[in-house]
Amino acid sequence: MTNKKKMPSIFTMAKNFAKDLGKYIKEGAPNVSAKQYTERLEACNTCPNLNKKHMRCVLCGCLVEHKAKWKTTTCPDKPSRWKHLYVDIAKLKRSNAQKAVEINKELHEAAKKGEWDPQDPDSIAEMAKKMGLKVQTDSKCKDCDKEGEKKSKE
């Protein structure tokens, strides 16, 4: 009896490859540096999940020589053998938008309770401090004159 791990089905390999390829293309085909590529291949080479005859990962079925180049892919092993190098900008934007919505709700509630005055910019400092936010407490604007009106760009 052999101790070899079985490769995924052809359907599973195609599905995994299509998913990784789609993400790679969608993000503009970003590749890792030559050093990162070498590090990834070295990690794969020492992995018990590598089918060395075909140079395929037995967890996902991908050809490691290609998958290791793509910045958008990760090693499917748990824990992953590769550093995560890709930041999903869309996910980050959604996260920041959600934070803004939550902060806005807190500010509206605080205004209703009289904890701060939306008409007084300097009154936000204490509220922002409670929320862990950094704000400019100086009400002077570099683009405004003394009356708070926008300077004309002449």
Confidence at 38, pLDDT banded by 50, 70, 90: very high
Q: 2 pLDDT band (50/70/90 cuts)?
A: very low
Structure token pair of residue 93: 């934007």
25 and 82, same domain (yes or no):
yes
pLDDT at 135: 63
* Residue 100 or residue 7, greater confidence: 7
Domain count, the chain: 2
49-86 pLDDT, tens digit each:
999 999 999 999 999 999 999 999 989 999 989 876 77
Can you state the angle between helices 89-113 and 124-131, rounded to 10 degrees? Answer: 130
* CA-wise closest residue to 4 among 57, 40, 49: 49
pTM attached to this predicted model? 0.55
Tell whether 144 is covered by a domain: no
Distance, in Å, from the CA atom of 140 to the CA atom of 56, rounded to the nearest integer, reads: 61
- Domain range for 99: 89-131
Residue 152 covered by a domain: no
How far apart (Å, rounded) are the C-alpha atoms in residues 3 and 69? 29
Average pLDDT of the segment spanning 126-146: 64
Number of Cβ within 10 Å of residue 146's Cβ equals: 6
Q: Are residues 5 and 78 in the same domain?
A: yes
Tell me whether residue 139 is in a domain.
no
Query: Are 56 and 99 in the same domain?
Result: no
Residues 62 and 103 in one domain: no
**Tokens representing residue 92 in the block:** 């980050």
Whether residues 1 and 69 fall in one domain: yes
For the cut 60, the answer to whether the pLDDT of residue 146 exceeds it is no
Same domain, 72 and 109: no
